[in-house]
């Protein structure tokens, strides 16, 4: 099934090699790595087949296969000729990454196969370095040029990966790794390695059955030297209150104020903040008295805003406002609060989290001049965030918001920008894009071209009335907002649709004569919208005309074309050849 789908995508022109290169730049898995992780050996063979493979061979694919528990695919990938011909092969290889992935994903027999392949035939190591916890540092250059380098700390990572493995043989993998690597006394040696045991206990708690695993390790008499701090961090990282209570109440674990995490992410607090769990956050702050002042508070407020968790923002700010916490600030009171509010607001706007933006503004964050708020909101693709900024009273400006929305491919944001009356220099690009969309009524297009003097009704503009009684149209001319455009183009006897969607007779379309109303009601009195200057250039005008053709032949499309033609007639003496320049000549 997967191979058939890949072949179909290739037939449709999907660029596999280009996507591989871009994936590396963006930090995403390549096609071969994705196939390897899924264990699709037939897809891997297809990707690497031929003189010009569809995907580049990489060690990342080997690691992905090992983490997925596909030992046979690991051995097949490392037997491929591309491994030896790749220029980056020697420098990129890490036996630690490979064995760590295998310890996590493979069963015990498969882990043994991979371990024996890479470390099972180790040569005796000269005792030139100090003896490490699990023996001397191992460095060997294989006949194929690859260098196997495994330090004692790296081996501890293999044990940690095995402890958190999704396989039921996780404990057997720990003891087997110790025996393979350190000999018959390996398990006894491990009991005296408190630092390695801290890693193992922490890895075990990352599993869904972490409490049971920690209990089994504890019953062996193993005691980590960190008082189970790594296990507490792992349990708190997934907001497991029951596990935290077991560790603290039953095993005597502490929830320390770890100075190493003073500025960087600290799982007991970052876990509930990123997960949006205010109840667990309250448990950490009030029951276990986890410190949250200064830089840590600043970082957590940013994290909550970036994730869009308004409830967490409220929780943090309510906690910080308590007198006891204000007195405990490790620097000038309010410094980190103000900075956190402002940086949080920027992140919330950038990520399109309208609820978080509204929450931060309510708590005192300010839309200060300088940051491109509207541009960031447009790029986020969140219409609601745009509305929140508008509701806050922040003025629209001339930023290139239309092109930002076009780059994101978001027509809803484009439409909202037009409703909010943005006067950006790129408004013509926005108008052209909206002209293509038959779902955008004429009433939403008018302002971009006509400015504040353009009507909001429009001929057939999304149900807006052309003025059956004349009261909704332009009073000076006695014509509805779209009546002149419709009449000037001979678009039929109706000037628009009424609220019930029925056609109105020609004599009821407006009080004035339908044909004579065009100069006053539609084009002659039109104002200056932000797209008008660009559409006076012939090339830009032709783009707009081509865009309208995408609307088809319906009544709404005819009304839009008529409206454009009337505007064009009013601009005959102002039209210019070519395209609008991107610069201004100064004489």
Q: Predicted confidence band at 343 (pLDDT cuts at 50, 70, 90)?
A: very high
In which band, very low, low, confident or very high, does the pLDDT at 145 lie, cut at 50, 70 and 90?
A: confident
Same domain membership, residue 298 and residue 225: no
Residue 283 lies in a domain: yes
Looking at the structure, tell me whether residues 239 and 349 fall in a common domain: no
What are 494-539's pLDDT values in tens digits?
333 332 333 333 333 333 333 333 332 233 334 688 989 888 989 9
Same domain? For 250 and 336 the reply is no
Most confident residue range from 8-22, 49-63, 342-356, 363-377: 342-356
Domain membership flag for residue 112: no
Residues 219 and 306 in one domain: no
Q: Could you tell me if residue 54 is inside a domain?
A: no
244, 363: one domain: no
Output the pLDDT for position 29: 85
In terms of domains, do 569 and 460 share one?
Answer: yes
Is 187 part of a structural domain of the chain? Answer: no
Q: What percent of the chain has pLDDT over 90?
A: 39
Q: Measured between alpha carbons, how far is 137 from 79 in angstroms, rounded to an integer?
A: 27
Buried b / exposed e along 118-146 (16+ C-beta atoms within 10 A): bbeeeeeeeeeeeeebbbbbbebeeeeeb
Q: Are residues 266 and 374 in the same domain?
A: yes
Q: What is the pTM of this model?
A: 0.73
Q: What is the mean pLDDT of residues 212-239?
A: 93
In 3D, which of 413, 420, 429, 418 has the Cα closest to residue 378?
413
* Backbone angles phi and psi of 437, in degrees to 5: -90, 115
Predicted confidence at residue 191, as pLDDT, reads 84
457 pLDDT more than 50:
no
Look at 143 and 102; give whichever has higher pLDDT: 102
Mean pLDDT of 470-484: 33
Q: Could you say which of 336, 370, 395 is where a domain stops?
A: 395
In a shared domain, residues 285 and 245: no
State the chain's mean pLDDT as an integer: 78
Q: Token pair for residue 60?
A: 């990342």
List, for residues 532-561, the tens digit of each pLDDT value: 988 898 999 999 999 999 988 888 889 999
Q: In 3-state terms, the chain is what percent helix, strand and coil (to 5)?
A: 60, 5, 40
| pLDDT above 70 for 48 | yes
Residue 580 lies in a domain: no
In which band, very low, low, confident or very high, does the pLDDT at 167 lie, cut at 50, 70 and 90? very high
Residue at 355 is within a domain:
yes
Of 255, 288, 318, the residue at which a domain comes to its end is: 255
Q: How far apart are CA 336 and CA 218, in angstroms?
A: 41
Residue 25 pLDDT: 53
| Alpha-carbon gap, residue 493 to 488, rounded angstroms | 11
Mean pLDDT calculated for residue range 60-84: 90
- The total number of structural domains that make up the chain: 3
Tens of pLDDT, residue by residue over 235-294, are 998 999 999 999 999 999 988 665 555 555 678 888 999 999 999 999 998 898 887 877
In a domain? residue 363: yes
Q: Give me the pLDDT at residue 511, please.
A: 31
Short-list 205, 207, 94, 149, CA closest to 197? 205
* Mean local confidence (pLDDT), 14-32: 66
d(CA 320, CA 317): 5
* Overall average pLDDT of the 406-429 stretch: 88
Residue 307 belongs to what domain range?
Answer: 261-395
Last residue of a domain, one of 370, 395, 420: 395
Residues 243 and 267 both lie in one domain: no
Q: 385 and 287: one domain? A: yes
Confidence at residue 554, expressed as pLDDT on a 0 to 100 scale: 86
Please name the helix (run of DSSP H) or strand (run of DSSP E) that holds residue 138, with its range, or none. Answer: strand 138-141
The mean pLDDT of 453-480, rounded to a whole number, is 36
Lowest-pLDDT choice from 158-167, 205-214, 414-423: 414-423
Whether residues 244 and 266 share a domain: the answer is no
Task: Say which CATH number the domain at 347 has.
Answer: 1.25.40.20
Query: Is residue 108 domain-resident?
Result: no
Q: How confident is the model at residue 404 (pLDDT cuts 50, 70, 90)?
A: confident
- CA proximity to 355, closest of 387, 299, 413, 309: 309
Q: Are residues 234 and 343 in the same domain?
A: no
* Maximum average pLDDT range among 195-204, 253-262, 371-380, 486-495: 195-204
């Amino acid at each position: 099934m997967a191979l058939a789908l890949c072949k179909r995508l290739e037939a449709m022109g999907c660029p596999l090699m280009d996507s591989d290169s871009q994936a590396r730049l963006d930090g995403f898995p390549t096609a071969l790595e994705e196939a390897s992780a899924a264990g699709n050996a037939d897809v891997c063979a297809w990707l690497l087949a031929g003189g010009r493979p569809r995907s580049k061979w990489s060690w990342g694919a080997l690691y992905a296969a090992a983490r997925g528990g596909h030992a046979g695919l690991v051995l097949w990938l490392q037997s491929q000729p591309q491994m030896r011909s790749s220029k980056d092969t020697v420098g990129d290889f890490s036996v630690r990454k490979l064995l760590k992935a295998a310890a996590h994903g493979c069963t015990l027999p498969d882990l043994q196969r991979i371990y024996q392949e890479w470390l099972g035939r180790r040569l005796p190591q000269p005792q030139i370095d100090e003896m490490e916890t699990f023996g001397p540092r191992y460095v060997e250059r294989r006949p194929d040029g690859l260098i196997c380098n495994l330090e004692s700390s790296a081996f501890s990572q293999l044990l940690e990966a095995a402890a958190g493995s999704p396989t039921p043989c996780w404990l057997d993998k720990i003891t087997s790794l110790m025996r393979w690597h350190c000999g018959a006394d390996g398990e006894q040696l491990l009991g005296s390695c408190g630092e390695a045991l801290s890693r193992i206990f922490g890895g075990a708690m990352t599993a869904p059955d972490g409490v049971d695993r920690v209990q089994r390790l504890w019953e062996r008499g193993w005691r980590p030297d960190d008082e189970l701090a790594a296990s507490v961090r792992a349990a708190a990282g997934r907001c497991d209150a029951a596990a935290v209570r077991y560790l603290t109440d039953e095993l005597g674990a502490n929830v320390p104020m770890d100075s190493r995490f003073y500025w960087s992410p600290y799982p007991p607090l970052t876990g509930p903040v990123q997960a949006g769990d205010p109840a667990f956050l309250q448990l950490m702050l009030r029951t276990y008295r986890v410190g949250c002042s200064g830089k840590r508070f600043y970082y957590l407020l940013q994290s909550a805003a970036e994730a869009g968790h308004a409830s967490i923002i409220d929780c943090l700010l309510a906690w910080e406002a308590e007198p006891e916490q204000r007195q405990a600030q490790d620097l000038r009171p309010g410094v980190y609060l103000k900075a956190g509010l402002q940086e949080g607001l920027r992140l919330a706007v950038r990520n399109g989290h309208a609820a978080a933006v509204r929450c931060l503004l309510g708590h005192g964050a300010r839309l200060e001049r300088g940051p491109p708020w509207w541009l960031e909101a447009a790029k986020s693709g969140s219409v609601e965030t745009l509305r929140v900024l508008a509701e806050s009273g922040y003025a629209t400006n001339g930023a290139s918001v239309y092109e930002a929305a076009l780059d994101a491919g978001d027509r809803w944001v484009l439409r909202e920008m037009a409703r909010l009356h943005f006067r950006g220099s790129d408004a013509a690009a926005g108008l052209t894009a909206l002209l293509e969309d038959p779902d955008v009524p004429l009433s939403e297009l008018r302002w971009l071209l006509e400015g504040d003097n353009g009507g909001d009704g429009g001929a057939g503009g999304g149900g807006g009335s052309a003025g059956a009684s004349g009261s909704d149209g332009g009073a000076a001319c006695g014509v509805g907002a779209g009546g002149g455009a419709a009449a000037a183009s001979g678009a039929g006897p109706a000037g628009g649709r009424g609220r019930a969607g029925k056609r109105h007779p020609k004599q009821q379309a407006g009080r004035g004569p339908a044909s004579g109303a065009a100069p006053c009601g539609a084009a002659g009195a039109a104002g200056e919208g932000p797209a008008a200057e660009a559409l006076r250039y012939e090339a830009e005008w032709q783009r707009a005309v081509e865009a309208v053709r995408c609307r088809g032949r319906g009544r709404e499309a005819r009304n839009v074309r008529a409206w454009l033609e009337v505007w064009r007639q009013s601009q005959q003496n102002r039209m210019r050849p070519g395209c609008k320049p991107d610069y201004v000549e100064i004489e």
